Homo-oligomer: A and B are copies of this chain.
Amino acid sequence: MSTRDVVGRYFETMRQRDWDAFAEVVADDVRYELPQTREVISGKAKYVAFNREYPGDWELTLTRLVVDGETAAGSMNFTVGDQELVGLVFLEVRDGLVSKVTDFWPEPYEPPAGREHLVDREPASVDRLSMP
């Protein structure tokens, strides 16, 4: 499978919570990094369990997918109840399997003062984050 096929299947099986199929596109020694918390999950068994056990009745929509050689980047709208989050992910593929995942979950914040003369405030468009 091409990198595009592998990462497409990664997101689609996650969206469907088909964890057996998800496990088939993940390398045995996959490394999952969350730089915001410095959490790392090592190995397929723990990484599939992490996803399977993730709490809440969430829904995921892939909003961007950028593929380049054996790397990819994507963005997701992630909804849990009435909360909307955006997830950003960088992936590495090796031998047709996802070998590294780096995830980011940015949160809404109030804009700093001093740039009001340059900016407009608009409703969310592609990327939907619930305001605090």
Q: What residues of chain A have their CB less than 8 Å away from a CB belonging to chain B?
A: 33-42, 46-47, 49-50, 53, 55, 64-68, 71-73, 75, 86, 88, 90, 102, 104-111, 114-115, 118-129, 131
Contacts and interface: CB of A to CB of B under 8 A. Distances in A.
Nearest to A109: B36
A94 B65 CA distance: 18
5 contacts: A36-B106, A41-B118, A86-B104, A106-B106, A106-B107
- For this chain, the copies found in one complex come to 2
A86 B39 contact: no
Contact of A50 (B37, B104, B115): B115
Contacts of A131: 38
A120 B88 contact: no
Nearest to A104: B106
